[in-house]
Structures are given as structure tokens and as C-alpha cells.
Chains A and B, each alone.
Chain A
Amino acid sequence: MNFEKVSFAFFVVFALTINFGFFIGEIDNPAHHHVYELFAAIVISLIATVIKLGDRSHIGAVLLATSLVADIHLFAAAIIWGIAEHVSTTGVTPDVMSTIVSVSGGALIANLTSVVLLVIETVVVRR
């Protein structure tokens, strides 16, 4: 066991769980999706991305790619939220909320892939 492996798995799994926490709930109900959760999801996802940098193996490249996909999804969700709240006059309506949550659903899939790959790698190494 070494710290690098622990922190690696920690952030990869954490990115998934926190993303899931934001995603779960009625899709168009703003009360079920808190902005703090989205913020946390973005920060953890970014950290996970940086942690994956520099791995030259093939699986490392795929892991990095999934993380980048999750980042893009979460950024998109955050930008939509910001525009709805501050730029447009409507505010965060159930319509907007459902868009944000469905976009974060994309990030969820990407994070899920990441975790699956992590599990596969762990199984293959068997150490």
C-alpha cells in the first residue's frame, strides 16, 4: 500500500460519489440539487484530472480522457447555472434545472467509466 495509490483511488471514487450526490433527485426540482454540491464536484473532478496527469500507460491515457470529459460536462453545467442566475432575467427555473442535471449526468457516466477502469486495473495488477 502506498499513499499515491490511495489518494489516486480516493479522488477518482470521490469524484463519482459527489457527482452522484448532485445528480440524484427529481430532475427539475431545484430543491434537490444544491449549488455547493456542483462546486464540490467541479473541484474534486479537477483534482482527479491533475492527479492522473503524466501516466504514460494506455489505461492512464483513457483515465485522463474520462476525467477531461467529466470536467467539460461539469463546467458546462456551472456555466448554464451562472448564465441563468446572473445574465438572464428568468433565474433558475425547473427547465434550466433539468438541463443542468442532465448535463451533470453525462459527467456521472464519465466518472463511472473512470471508476470501472480503476477497478479493472486493480484486478489486473492483483497486488
Chain B
Amino acid sequence: MNSLIFLLLKQIRLPIMLLIVSYAIVILGFVLIPGQDDQGNVWHMSFFHAFYFVSFMGSTIGFGEIPYEFTNAQRMWTVFGIYATVTIWLYSIGALISTLQNQAFKKILRENDFRKKVQRIRDPFYLICGYGDTGKLLAHELSENHILSVVLDIDSERIDSLQIEEPDVEIPALAANASFPEVLETAGLTHKYCQGVIALTNKDDVNLKIAITARLLNKERMLGEDLMVVCRAETAEAEANMASFGTTHIINPYEIYARRLALSVRSPSAYLVYEWLTNPYHNVRTEPVEPPMGTWVICGYGRFGKAVSRHLNYIGVKTVIIEASPDITFPPEGAIIGRGTEAVTLREAKIMNAAAIVAGTDNDANNLSIVLTAQDEVKRHYLGKLRNKEHINKYGARSFTETINNSDDLNTKGNRKGKLFSIARQNFSRNEAVFVKADLDFIMQPANIVAGEILSIIKTPLLSVFLSLARRQKDQWANILISRISSFIEDMAMTWMVEISHKQTPAIMCFIKKDTITIGHILRHPRNRDKSLKCVVLLVRRKVNEFTELRHKMPNFIFSDKSHTFLLPDDDFEIHEGDQLLLCGDKESMHLMCWSVSNVNTYNYLHTGYELAGGYIWRWIHKHKLLRQEKKTG
């Protein structure tokens, strides 16, 4: 702030100097010019009177000629003085205002304001670099969950849009280049309450630089796993580079989506579980979508196309690539050159025989065009085949081979009825309305994927552990889980985490030393303990160096380096201090469970079935009653 005042003064140094000089000249003139007093004697103005007179003259207040009426010589000097001082005043004020309006000065003002806001933060917060589609989504979700965030973006228009939107929690934002370390420091990278840095800019090298800066400026905190660094990476090289210096989470939307797509082909039920748990804000889809296993046509062999085709090939799905500029992307042999928006290219890729189309270019209009053209082409082909068949049925085949070909085609593709499984990549969220209207089976939205992934890392870190374990399970396992979850969830599936600790579950901590506590205890309904809550424990994570002998007893036990995890534990599973539980259920159950594990009286009822007496006196009476009962029974 101090430097701000000095900067302002430096900017208006010339006007101030001119004011001083003009005042000095005019004052001196009045003192030197002889005047007359009321008796007609020669009289010289003193400096005091001259200063007084010039002060109200210069500011055009004008009290009149004091203390005696002026002589003509004095009046001439006054005329000069008025024009000199008033002009310079106007110039000075103009200079001051233009300095305040100056873009550079305004920028410094904003920066100062931002720095102060960040310094004043006294709650954990996340630093988000990049306020594009993804950053916007993430910042708003965080603010809805009452988690603070600080936003940096190089584009001042985006920052302005944030200020107009007015989220629930105030988000300090600055338009600055996040690849400069001092900018990151201003934004609170080294702040005590900074929980993590999330690099979401659309340039991999900027994200990389942010990750390096975060690592170097917070050496101790990174080692203690106090600070989380999350990066968005769009190429495998950047991903490997980021991983090499300890970036906590690297999120590659294309890789994630391709993996999910492969999962949905391989095991539709497992994919449904995935969707339920990661998309808590959408209505639950009860029937899994079943993508076909046939040949897939992939348009665009960029980062997305590469990831999808690799994952599909891995699970044994054949792919045909269509690529417009093969000299940049180097598609594999047999790729068809073209944009895919024209029917000719699609026909060349044998779209009539394909099971699915993936429009994965970086142009939204082209993606829609590809899908629509392909769907039309397939439908036309199918109708033509139907007509042919009718024709053959009516008039008989012209040749033997034609009949065989036709019947072959119709038999293999007959069940699809001219429908093509379509997936399109939507690059910009502003195009959402069009994509929703288009007849698409899946829409790939990179922004949503990245934001959802980061949100789950921040809110429920165990979820990603659970999902990676779930991916290795069989389809049957997923089916059982689905039937379990869908039995009690109507519209919204919430996932949340509970840690058995004094801070989060004080009620359980009172009992855990004396008694064994099982998952069944926690999941009882706090209003009626015979009923159970509408939720399920998905995963329990336990720190290592305890209970290693459990390894042999528990069938669903999975070993990992730092901690033990138990997938879908039963009701009689024992919990210990320090365990982290991942739960899934409806919203009401979430609130009820959080209540019962933190309120001693409620939990006592769940555990013992008795209502606990509240005050000291009642507790004392209760104790004596119990003792007497014990004596009677012996």
C-alpha cells in the first residue's frame, strides 16, 4: 500500500512541482508589489496575507480583496495569478485522475487487493491455475462445498466473468501469468493454509512449470505430503515428466475417458458403478449402457483418438482410424486419410459394417457433423438392405451369391436396426445444448472429467482407490454391488468419507477402547436401531503396522505398501482408531450417519440400545440402578 502512494506521487510529481512553483511566484509577487491601506499609506502585504489570498484565489473561492482594497498594480498581478494557478490546478487534477484511470496503475491496485485478500485467508484453500471450462466448474463446485479457492488466469476477461458470477464463497482472482513463480507466490503458493495447487491451464508446459515451482518453493511440505499438486496433462510425455518429480496427481482427461470407455465395453455393470460414484449430481441410470464389441471407427487420431484406440485394442476391440493430417499425428498403417465429415471417407472406413463411431477431433462442429453423417449413412444402408431383401423375397434373387451376402449382412447387423453407437467429444461447454440434442450415446467432456476427478480427490480421496480396485473385479461383482446400492438409492448417490478420530467421530472414540465396534453398529438408523441406514461401506483403509495377521483371515483383504484396504467389508467387520471409511448412500443417510458418529448419546443408543441419561445426576442414578440390579442377580 505504501509503495502504492509513492507510486502515485511519482506519477504526479510534475503537477505538484508546478503548483509549488506557481504558488511561490504569485505569493512573492503580492509581497513585493506595494499596496495602499485605508489611509492611503504605502503598505506591503505580508507572506501570511499573500498566502491566504493566493490560497482562496487559486482554488477559485474568491473572498475579495483583503485586508485593504487592491491597487491597480496588485489587480494586474491578481489577473496573472488567477490564470496561472487555476490552470495548473486543473492540469494537476486531470493528471491525478488519469493516473488513477491508468491501466497499469489499476492493475497494481488489483494486484495489491488480491495479495491482501490471499494473505488474510485463515482457512484451508486450493490454488487453481487456469479458469477455463474446467477451472470454472471446479471453482464453483468447491465453493458450493464451502471450500475456499484462489484463481489465477492469464486472460483478464475470464477473471472479470468470475467477478460477475458471484459464487457462494468469495474467490480471490487475478489475471496474471501462472508460470511466473512470483505470481504463484502472490496467489498463496507458500501460504500456510494452502492445501494444494491445481494446474489446469491448457498448455502442458505451463502446468509443468507450475508443478516444478510448487515443488521447489514448498520442499518440506511436499515431503510431508502436506501440499497436494494436481496437474492436467494432455500428452503422455508431459505426464511422465510431471510424475518424475513427485506431482501428487496427474489428470489426463483423454486417458481417463478412454479407460472408462474400455471399462464400459468390457464390463457395463462396472462402468455403471463408476458412473454412480463419480457423478453424484446426475440422476442415477439404472440400466447399464452396453457398447457393442464390433469394429469401432475413430475419427481424429489426436491425443483423444490415440488413447481410445489404445485402450480399445487392449481389450480386443478392432478399430479403424480416420485422420485428416497423418503427417502430424502418425496414425498406424491402414488408417484412412480424410476428415470424416464427408460420407465418402466414412464409406471408405466401412461405416456400414462398423458397430460404433467415435468423433474425437478438436472441433465441436466437425464432431457433430461426423456423427450425424455416419448415422445417416448407416441408416440409409440399412433401409437399402431392407428394400433389397423385400425385393428378393418378392421377385427372387438374381444370383446365388447376392442372396448369401445380403442374408449375411442382415443377420449380423440385424439386431442394431441401422443404429450406430455414437460417441462425440465436446471441447467447449458452451456447445452443450447442441450436443445434448444430438442422438449420442456418450458425450466426452474433458472439462467435466477433469473437474469431477479433482473434486473426488479433494473431497473423497478414497474414491479413486476404490475405483482402481473395482476396475480389477469381475462383472459379476459389479452386478452384486449395483443391486445392493440400487436397493436403497432412489435419485442421488452421495459418496463421503469418515475417519475414525477424535475430531470426526468423537462418539465412537468413547467406545472404541472398551468395546469392539463393527460396521453394523455405525450403519444402524439413529431413530430406530433395528433398521439400518440406506448406505453401504465401500472401502476401509487402515494404516500399516497394525493387525498384519489379519492378512490371512480376511478373504477380501488387499495388500498395499502404506496401508491396508478392505473392499466392501461385511457388517461384522471390526473398525479401529485411524480407519478411513468410504461410504455411499442417499443424502439423508449421510446426515444421519454423521450425526450418530459425533453425538455420544445417539451413538450410545445405537451401540447398546439404551437411551443414555444426560446430566450428572441422571447418570449417577442410572449407574446406581444398574449396580443394584447386578447385586440382585448376583
A contacts, CB < 8 Å to B: 35-36, 39, 43, 46-47, 50-51, 53-54, 56, 78, 82, 85-86
Contact = CB atoms under 8 A, between A and B. Distances in A.
Contacts of A85: 46, 48
17 contacts: A36-B31, A39-B31, A39-B47, A43-B20, A50-B16, A53-B6, A53-B9, A54-B6, A54-B7, A54-B9, A56-B3, A78-B47, A82-B46, A82-B48, A85-B46, A85-B48, A86-B49
Given A35-B47, A78-B47, A86-B46, A43 B24 contact: yes
Contacts of B21: 43, 47
Interface in B1-46: 3, 6-7, 9-10, 13, 16-17, 20-21, 24, 27-28, 31, 46
B17 A50 contact: yes
A50 B13 contact: yes
Contacts of A47: 17, 20-21
Contacts of A53: 6, 9-10, 13
Contacts of A54: 6-7, 9-10, 13
Contacts of B24: 39, 43
B456 to A, nearest CB: 47
A29 B380 CA distance: 116
The interface residues of chain B, by DSSP majority, are classed as: helix
A46 B18 CA distance: 11
A85 B50 CA distance: 14
B45 to A, nearest CB: 12
Contact of B20 (A39, A50, A56, A78): A50
A39 B30 CA distance: 13
Contacts of A36: 28, 31
B27 A39 contact: yes
A38 to B, nearest CB: 8
Nearest to A79: B48
B17 A82 contact: no
A39 B48 CA distance: 10
A51 B7 CA distance: 13
Nearest to A35: B47
A56 B21 CA distance: 25
- Taking each of B10, B21, B48, B49, which has the highest tally of chain A beta carbons within 10 Å of its own beta carbon? B48
Contacts of A35: 46-47
Contacts of A51: 13, 17
Interface string B124-139: 0000000000000000
Contacts of B31: 36, 39
A117 B163 CA distance: 48
Nearest to A53: B9
A123 B42 CA distance: 53
Nearest to B11: A54
Contacts of B10: 53-54
Nearest to A42: B24
Contacts of B49: 86
A56 to B, nearest CB: 7
Given A54-B10, A85-B48, A86-B48, 14 more contacts: A36-B28, A39-B28, A39-B31, A46-B20, A47-B21, A50-B13, A50-B16, A51-B13, A53-B6, A54-B6, A54-B13, A78-B47, A86-B46, A86-B49
A53 B7 CA distance: 8
Nearest first, the 4 closest Cβ-Cβ pairs linking A and B are A54-B10, A43-B24, A82-B48, A53-B9
A104 B117 CA distance: 45
A47 B9 CA distance: 13
A78 B48 CA distance: 9
A47 B24 CA distance: 11
A63 to B, nearest CB: 13
Contacts of B7: 54
Contacts of A86: 46, 48-49
A78 B46 CA distance: 12
A43 B18 CA distance: 11
A47 B48 CA distance: 20
Contacts of A78: 47
A82 B47 contact: yes
Nearest to A86: B48
Contacts of B48: 82, 85-86
Contacts of B6: 53-54, 56
Contacts of B3: 56
Interface in B37-89: 46-49
A78 B47 CA distance: 9
A8 B7 CA distance: 18
A82 B48 CA distance: 6
B56 to A, nearest CB: 16
Nearest to B24: A43
B3 to A, nearest CB: 7
A62 to B, nearest CB: 14
Nearest to A46: B20
A53 B10 CA distance: 6
B52 to A, nearest CB: 10
A36 B30 CA distance: 12
Nearest to A45: B20
Contacts of A46: 20
A50 B49 CA distance: 25
A14 B612 CA distance: 88
Nearest to A43: B24
Contacts of A82: 46-48
A4 to B, nearest CB: 11
Interface string B590-621: 00000000000000000000000000000000
Interface string B369-408: 0000000000000000000000000000000000000000
A85 to B, nearest CB: 6
Contacts of B47: 35, 39, 78, 82
Contacts of B16: 50
A39 B21 CA distance: 12
A7 to B, nearest CB: 10
A43 B47 CA distance: 12
A78 B24 CA distance: 14
A35 B47 CA distance: 8
Contacts of A50: 9, 13, 16-17, 20
Contacts of B46: 35, 82, 85-86
A54 B6 CA distance: 5
